[in-house]
A and B are shown apart, each in its own frame.
Chain A
Amino acid sequence: MFRWKLLLMFFAIVLLQVLILNNVYLGGYINPQVYVLFVLILPFDVRGWHLLLMAFFLGLLIDVFEDSLAIHTASTVMLAFARPFVLKLLTGKQPDDAGDVPSFRTLGTMTLFVYSLVLILIHHMVLFFMEMFHFRDFTETIFRVVISGGLTLLFVIIGFALFNRPTSKR
């Protein structure tokens, strides 16, 4: 049951990203990468290699749609790799209820915010520097990371608020 939901969410978030969010044009080239929400929202007890493999295919699919070589693949795999370490740093240990997913309820507002912020920054950093392929426009790229990252963070927090409502009521 849970797997089907996950699969559905996987494709829904890819379509949301490539059909709607990639057409958002907000001065300069700012592009929210909301698909990272899929990796952020996976359960705490997801197996390491499952996590990496899902991130890999998520990034690959986004790349296929965007003609962007494999830069989304690389940055999403990096995000998945960093996730367990960031979680451990923020929560100290694995949460008791192993089947839970990161949410306002399980992590708390502040921790969830920092968790998303750090991982989104890692992802965008890899993504935008790979897109440039050189460090010449360093400040400009940092600017893009910050602005796009902020926008992604906003969408991701909204996403957390929407997705977690049914489970928190139970």
Chain B
Amino acid sequence: MRNLFRFIQRYHFFFFFLLLQVVALLLTLSSQHFQQAYLFHSSNTVSGYVYRTYNSISSYMHLREVNEQLLEDNRRLMERNRENFLITDQQVFKHEDSVSQRRYTYLNAGVINKSVNRRNNYMTLNKGRQHGIEPDMGVITGNGVAGIVMHVSDNFSSVMSLLHSDMLVSVKIGKNDHIGTLQWEGGDYRRTVMSYIPPHVDLSVGDSIFTSGHSRVFPENVFVGTIEDWEVRRGENFFTATVKMAIDHNKLSLVYVVKNLMREEQEELESAVPGDIQF
């Protein structure tokens, strides 16, 4: 017994190293599977406040770009305004009624931290649970998909960016509604990959890609990007297209969080069907 103690004392450096390394590995593996490993996300209080303080200073540098972006969003919305259209067919009668029921609402939030230079990238938003943000809500901007909320604290939320290996988005080609899957393969943060496009589909450079609406997270027809190139990868029977993303993840500063009001109803129904359903 005494020899054992002496042995441990002699090699205490090694044993202490082993202990800390095992703790680190356990933290890594456990927080991968349990999303509630609360301390280790940038939505936690300490890092959230540091990022917010820093952001309140540095955000002044991007004001011009942000304003231009807002102006552009406003313009697009104004064009949809009903007053812009002349009603030529007097037979059609239209008014607000209870036929259409609201499915999505939007919350605005600011990005206070983000990365694009890792394999798995995240963002931190300056709003959290008390503002109504919940895990698994979609995050978009005026012109594209940005990510999905993963964790929330009272005042902050951390978002899995489109630039993450676990982030799969169901998308479609605008002109013919063919569905594919969007997943970032690393490298260039402005380009991502759409796979599983059937080989008979007619593709051309510049085709627009939108969200398919086959999910509980994003509404249909949110713009994602445009096709740049495509190929048939070895051993596959599908087209794999390179998509240039509409948003610049490195410049994100203001985003909208999508709340699906019918999410629970859809989830309940779909939980009866076995198998994975992607975002």
Contacts and interface: CB of A to CB of B under 8 A. Distances in A.
A29 B118 contact: yes
Given A64-B44, A77-B20, A31 B118 contact: yes
Given A48-B13, A70-B40, A64 B47 contact: yes
A48 B31 contact: no
Nearest to A81: B17
Contact of A64 (B46, B117, B186, B189): B46
Nearest to B44: A64
A73 B16 contact: no
A64 B24 contact: no
Nearest to B123: A67
A32 to B, nearest CB: 10
Contacts of A100: none
A132 interface: yes
Interface in A56-92: 56, 59, 63-71, 73-74, 77-78, 80-81, 84
A66 to B, nearest CB: 7
Interface in A73-115: 73-74, 77-78, 80-81, 84
Contacts of B124: 67
Contact of A25 (B27, B54, B116, B122): B116
A84 B117 CA distance: 32
A45 interface: no
A78 B117 CA distance: 23
Contacts of A70: 24-25, 27-28, 31, 40
B120 A74 contact: no
Interface in B84-123: 113, 115-120, 122
B130 interface: no
A69 to B, nearest CB: 4
Given A25-B117, A73-B23, A77-B24, 4 more contacts: A15-B50, A26-B117, A29-B119, A73-B24
Interface of B: 12-14, 16-17, 20-21, 23-25, 27-28, 31-32, 39-42, 44, 46-47, 50-51, 54, 113, 115-120, 122, 124, 158, 186-189, 250
Interface of A: 15, 18-19, 22-26, 28-31, 48-49, 52-53, 56, 59, 63-71, 73-74, 77-78, 80-81, 84, 130-132, 137, 140
